[in-house]
Amino acid sequence: MAETVAVRVVIRGRVQGVWFRAWTENVARDLCLDGWVRNRSDGTVEAVFAGPTPVIDRMINNCREGPPAADVESVTEERIEADPLIGIGFSKKPTA
């Protein structure tokens, strides 16, 4: 069984006002990932994904493309502590 990890990502580009959060929530749920996504006041989108490493890698690759109206310039990622996120499902959070 694959190790469960958590990764925080920040997506830059034209990623707000293009349904990026809803798209991320749908794709993450389809992949059975735990975590959350939110807009940030600096115009980026931030997300935390928790699950098996291969599935997280797939999600991050999906984020590099985004929904059709998005124009992703970059995706940065950092590994974080996973335990509090396991089993919470995936949701949208308010803008921070």
Exactly one of 14, 21, 58, 64 is catalytic; which is it? 21
**Strand 34-39, strand 45-52: pairing:** antiparallel
Is 14 a residue of the active site?
A: no
* Residue among 86, 62, 52, 54 at smallest CA distance from 9: 62
Q: How far apart are CA 36 and CA 48, in angstroms?
A: 5
Is 62 a residue of the active site?
A: no
Beta carbons of 95 and 40 less than 8 angstroms apart: yes
Exactly one of 12, 26, 38, 39 is catalytic; which is it? 39
Which are the catalytic amino acids? 21, 39
